Structure 1
Amino acid sequence: MDEIMKVIRETANIKQEDLLHDFRPLFVIYKDGSVERFVGTQFVPPSIEGVTGVESKDVVISAETGVFVRLFKPLSVTSDEKLPLLVYFHGGGFVVETVASPLYHNYLNVLSSKANVIAVSVEYRKAPEHPLPAAYDDSWAAVEWVRLGLAGAEPWLSTHVDPARVFLAGDSAGANIAHHMAKRIAKCNNPDGKIALKGLVLVHPYFWGKDRIGSELQKLNSSESRFDRLWKLAYPGTTGSDDPLFNPEMDPELSVLAGEKVLVFVAENDLLRDRGVHYKDLLVKSGWKGEVQVIETEGEDHVFHLYNPVLPKAAELVDQFVAFINSS
């Protein structure tokens, strides 16, 4: 959270009349069309991390788009040991952040170490330069790359992953992506087979809708929120905030979701809190046959665990995440 406060101070002198879109402290778009991002711009190279005991490497999966993934592998894994696989999609409203930022590089290092998993962190192209559905298409390309990797194309995956224990996860916009990738897996008719997904972890998922629900009625002063505006910016071709990509309640095929179980994290002070709880209710009502659970963190806000990883509540969230994966 200190990083966000620093951005707020540093951008206070930007003139509103120079801006086309103002989404501080995340980013702004100037009237000339240029985009200035204030978070997630640092690049941390892959490494062997001494504290967590995790090795990482980058693999470009599309020379055409430049999309890549960052793989994480515990150094302690033995030659014949099979670990769960975690495919992770980072957040950032489809506009900011990257797998190589300190925020996500460090977080995936911790998840890989504590859960003892091979992790694949997916870098997708971002709006507004690459409007949606680019992020969904890039993420699906990564899922397909994982499938081929499990079949032998990537040694870290084919050697060390148990293909019966594959999980998708993400936070915020990345949780939205993870949900839709689980839907695509369920609908995939690839003759070469598809990923057998075990479970899904959605941390503070970025879902919304035209009509206000729950505490949104008291917390929002206008009918159009920052989330509505950001969604339209990221996806100019959208039908609006009730687009099934943004509002699961409008998806007639919600029950077509791969995996046996879903864990949804919500935070009490997060404006998206009620959407996460509502997602569970919708999934149950849809007839989906798996198990879905919601865990709420009291007194915290959106993705607090990333900005304040030393907090006891952040450690508790990670422990619950890890327990979900290792209970399979």
Structure 2
Amino acid sequence: MGTTNDEIALELLPFLCVYKSGRVERLFGSPTVPPSPEGDPQTGVSSKDIDISSPSISARLYLPTTASTTATPTQKLPLLLYFRGSAFCIESAFSFIHQRYISLLSARASALIVSIEYRIAPEHPLPAAYHDSWEALLWLLSHSPQEQGSLTNSSNADHPQQLDQWILDHADFDRFFTGGDSAGANIVHNVAMRARSAGLTSRIRGMFLSQPYFWGSTRIGFEAGRPDVDLISRIWVFVSGGAGLDDPNINPLAEEAPSLGGLGCSKFVLVCVAGDDTLKERGKAYYEELKKSGWDGEVDLFEVEGEKHGFHGLDPECENSKLMIGRLASFLNQ
């Protein structure tokens, strides 16, 4: 028989178990894989890992074959700061499914992509992921000619100043975007709201939110009949350390949430939803509210019929995934 410390204290199935000893066993996720500095065999995209702020924040960078890391750089590329999904508690920016998906997107969009590895729950409950993502945004903008030397880090006097050569050589900061899927799309929204108050709106040209993880205490649309409603609620309470379902971080349309008219993004927003995803209703509601909020930009909705949550990452070679990746690529090239 096992000891008391081997007993399960909490289950969040199918994702993980937390034991009384404090050990966390993750039951779902793909293995981590190394970067491909010489180029991914399928796409030709080169990738490498960097530390942004040791020990908590790192990233995997993706450079398409349209650029050269050895010759004198002549071509500037769209720049995407990407926040992965996976419920704030599983997976990694260095995992197989994210490496495969971001390599395909980088190749299709001919974009330089910085995919952030942020801290996850339960070891690091929210707002750790929001903090890390904000720090990554400041670090990335510190490479910009407009921003070098002018950004300050209000929460950390030791804000890193080490710059990356790929970004310096190839990033077009006039085409700087943020984007993410699921929990990552939630981060995109929250980072953008903070960017407005920090005076950085003009620096973010656009953002995409793919199947965003937004929620609330009251069911809307077809949510009430869906089998995963309870799990979606439990995930938020777990990763946030007990925050309510109408906390503005998860419900940007709650009464106490700030107006979307204050979104810190200057020109373009793309909201993507999947037809058979319980979170679809929240994404569509966000799109409708942003349209009437007074935000001074262009917002579009892209829906892929019949697909489930996260389909384009889990099966990027299916026709609908190719359609989805193509839509994101065109968004990054406007």
1:318 aligns with 2:325: yes
For residue 254 of structure 1, what is the aligned residue in structure 2?
260
Deviates more, 1:103-112 or 1:256-265: 256-265
For residue 156 of structure 2, what is the aligned residue in structure 1?
none
Moved runs in structure 1, 4+ residues, more than 4 A? none
Deviates more, 1:119-128 or 1:19-28: 19-28
For residue 279 of structure 2, what is the aligned residue in structure 1?
272
| C-alpha deviation, 1:22, in angstroms | 2.5
| C-alpha deviation, 1:254, in angstroms | 2.1
- In the alignment, the residues of structure 2 paired with residue 295 and residue 194 of structure 1 have an alpha-carbon distance, to the nearest angstrom, of 24
Consecutive unaligned residues in structure 1, runs of 5 or more: 1-16
- In the alignment, the residues of structure 1 paired with residue 217 and residue 193 of structure 2 have an alpha-carbon distance, to the nearest angstrom, of 22
1:233 aligns with 2:238: yes
Deviates more, 1:118-127 or 1:175-184: 175-184
1:34 aligns with 2:41: no
TM-score of the superposition, structure 1-length normalised? 0.88
Cα distance 1:194–1:150, how it changes in 2: closer, same or farther (>3 A)? farther
Contact 1:53 1:76 in 2 (8 A): no
For residue 173 of structure 2, what is the aligned residue in structure 1?
163
Match of 1:118 among 112, 116, 120: 112
- In the alignment, the residues of structure 2 paired with residue 76 and residue 53 of structure 1 have an alpha-carbon distance, to the nearest angstrom, of 10
**RMSD, aligned α-carbons:** 1.9
Contact 1:26 1:39 in 2 (8 A): yes
| C-alpha deviation, 1:323, in angstroms | 1.2
- In the alignment, the residues of structure 2 paired with residue 307 and residue 194 of structure 1 have an alpha-carbon distance, to the nearest angstrom, of 32
SS of 2:10's equivalent in the other structure is strand
**1:62 aligned partner, one-letter code:** S
- In the alignment, the residues of structure 1 paired with residue 35 and residue 227 of structure 2 have an alpha-carbon distance, to the nearest angstrom, of 41
**Deviation digits for residues 38-63 of structure 1, max 9, x if unmatched?**
23352211112132111111111112
TM-score of the superposition, structure 2-length normalised? 0.86
**What does 1:44-63 align with in structure 2 at a 5 Å threshold?**
44-47=33-36, 48-63=39-54
Deviates more, 1:247-256 or 1:84-93: 247-256
- In the alignment, the residues of structure 1 paired with residue 80 and residue 178 of structure 2 have an alpha-carbon distance, to the nearest angstrom, of 6
Deviates more, 1:86-95 or 1:28-37: 28-37
1:144 aligns with 2:134: no
For residue 248 of structure 2, what is the aligned residue in structure 1?
244
For residue 14 of structure 1, what is the aligned residue in structure 2?
none
Deviates more, 1:100-109 or 1:258-267: 258-267
Aligned residues: 304
SS of 1:322's equivalent in the other structure is helix
- In the alignment, the residues of structure 2 paired with residue 228 and residue 245 of structure 1 have an alpha-carbon distance, to the nearest angstrom, of 13
**1:258 aligned partner, one-letter code:** G
For residue 187 of structure 1, what is the aligned residue in structure 2?
197
For residue 19 of structure 1, what is the aligned residue in structure 2?
8
**Deviation digits for residues 115-162 of structure 1, max 9, x if unmatched?**
000000000000010010000000011101101133472221121111
- In the alignment, the residues of structure 1 paired with residue 7 and residue 274 of structure 2 have an alpha-carbon distance, to the nearest angstrom, of 35
For residue 309 of structure 2, what is the aligned residue in structure 1?
302
SS of 1:249's equivalent in the other structure is coil
**What does 1:60-209 align with in structure 2 at a 5 Å threshold?**
60-63=51-54, 65-78=55-68, 79-151=73-145, 153-189=163-199, 196-209=203-216
Cα distance 1:52–1:280, how it changes in 2: closer, same or farther (>3 A)? same
| C-alpha deviation, 1:220, in angstroms | 5.5
Deviates more, 1:33-42 or 1:269-278: 33-42
| C-alpha deviation, 1:179, in angstroms | 1.1
Percent identity of equivalent pairs: 41
Consecutive unaligned residues in structure 2, runs of 5 or more: 1-5, 149-162
